[in-house]
Amino acid sequence: MEIRAVAVIGLGTMGAGIAEVFARAGLPVTGIEADPAALAAGLARITASLDKAVARGKLTQAERDAIAGRVTPGSGPADAAGADLVIEVIPEQLGLKRQIIAELDRSGRPDSIIATNTSSLSVTAIAAASAHPGRVVGMHFFNPAPVMRLVEVVTTVGTDPAVAAAVTELARRLGKTPVQVTDRAGFVANALLLPYLNHAARLLETGYATRADIDAAATEGIGLPMGPLALLDLIGLDTSLAVLDVLRHEFGGSRATPAPILRRLTDAGRTGRKGGGGFYDYPERDAPASADSSFSANADRPADPGTVTLIDPVAAAGPGDAARPDHSERAADLASLIAAAGISVTRNPSHPSDLAVVAIGPQGGVLGPATAAGRAADSVGLHLATPALAELVATPLTSPGALAAAQALVARLGLAVVRAPDRPGLLVGALLYPHLRDAITMVADGYASPADVDAAMTLGCGYPRGPMRMLADVGLGQAVDVLAAMHAGYGDPAFAPPPLLVECARAGIGLDGQPT
């Protein structure tokens, strides 16, 4: 099946971008909108995008004119009759999409490929509206289509393999990276991204952490380009809610069940940037308003503690995380860091000091060692999530004075800081490890390969590292330990270590079967 001409039905932001992608690749494109005003607006979007490329030196004027000349306007499905591939990019409403598919049966060529750009609806249900469901396939581009390199090619139980092969090859001709998956809610990227974002919303709603700390934990602690709450605002809370409803219908469970705050904000008209406000306010629809971070670098802070008592969880014989022998090494590293900042460090819990610090890992566990050392009131936990970010953990028994002294200590060490409760996962891990678990489960189910999972998230969601690379970086053993602690602490099956992860960790191999 050779695709030489295409038609795009729907020239909104996404459809116009897809039409531009096809035209840039040298394919004649028919851009279809039933409403004349919508058609004019869609063609104007393409023109504006090409003009911007010329202004930036990405295209010459001649190239711009040639691309624009490949786009022909159309007013209905009948104008797609000459296309080898027709892709619908209309709103995410199953009834509307099925109606378009049925109309293409009546007015289009019987041998043309019909693609849907749905991001979350069932491609199988859409294809069922056609008398020839074997020619229907999902071709999910990401916004902005001219920039984002990922295309998810989604096949149903009835899709002709030749159709899938032709669309996959077309994606490569467009300069994109295709990831081929079978029809499942959310495909790869949305099925991984939205539960992670939803969990962040739930952490905020339950008072687990502040919005600024949640977003900082993702950007500074995980290395993602945008925090989850800011990203929800960018995507649109109403759009995110609609995708989560689809995921919940298919998968159930806490990860896919929308956090109530998403529905409340949406009902209030706070849909994110496009609505002028969501989790953040956007008076100029630009960057989030000033954040409510735990500590401000410019705020007055108390004097540095004169002496810090460092409590080694292993030596203190605390419960939970203290059983891990690598905590002695972690405590030694933290002692060196504090000493290098010119602050005295003692390992004797009975020695008088301004502050006691428990060196913890991502599993948490401050209160047990602090109580065992007799320093519960003046103890905090400190976890170096990265060399530049500290997670500061207070317990219900930590005094305000100890917390203030810890603030001064972290500032003296020159670290960014987020506050986390003394619970399994802390904050960075509470966001990261369940997200990795979702990706591992997807691989274990045979739905996507480790390479495809990473491609989907790096190319489709802008991750600098995919989940499989993140997993390798933190270590499979640590992922098992943190998830096990979260599962034990919360009882939620969504946190239980997947059997594939446990098996690979014990065998010393990655999910791809290669030695770690």
Catalytic residue ranges: 119, 140, 152, 190
Measured CA angle at 462 (ends 457, 468), to 5 deg: 35
Query: Within 10 Å of residue 235's Cβ, how many Cβ atoms?
Result: 21
- In contact, 373 and 379? CB cutoff 8 Å: yes
Preceding peptide of 144 cis, ω within 30°: yes
> E strands, 247-306, where?
none
H/E element holding 421? strand 416-421
In eight-state DSSP terms, residue 312 is P
Question: Facing residues of 85 across strands?
Answer: 6, 113
Largest CA distance in the chain: 85
Q: Give the C-alpha distances (Å, rounded to integers) separating 432 from 33, 377, 428.
A: 42, 30, 6
Give the separation between CA 509 and CA 516, rounded to whole angstroms: 5
What CA–CA distances, in Å, run from 12 to 31, 39, 40, 68, 292?
10, 9, 11, 17, 36
CA triple 65-68-72, angle to 5 deg: 140
**Whole-Å CA distances, 490 to 147, 214, 326, 369:** 41, 19, 24, 21
DSSP assignment letter at 222: I
**Mapping DSSP to helix (H, G, I), strand (E, B) and coil, where does residue 499 land?**
helix
φ, ψ dihedrals at 315, nearest 5°: -65, -35
Contact between residue 353 and residue 308 where contact means Cβ atoms under 8 Å apart: yes
What's the CA gap between 443 and 230, in Å, rounded? Answer: 28
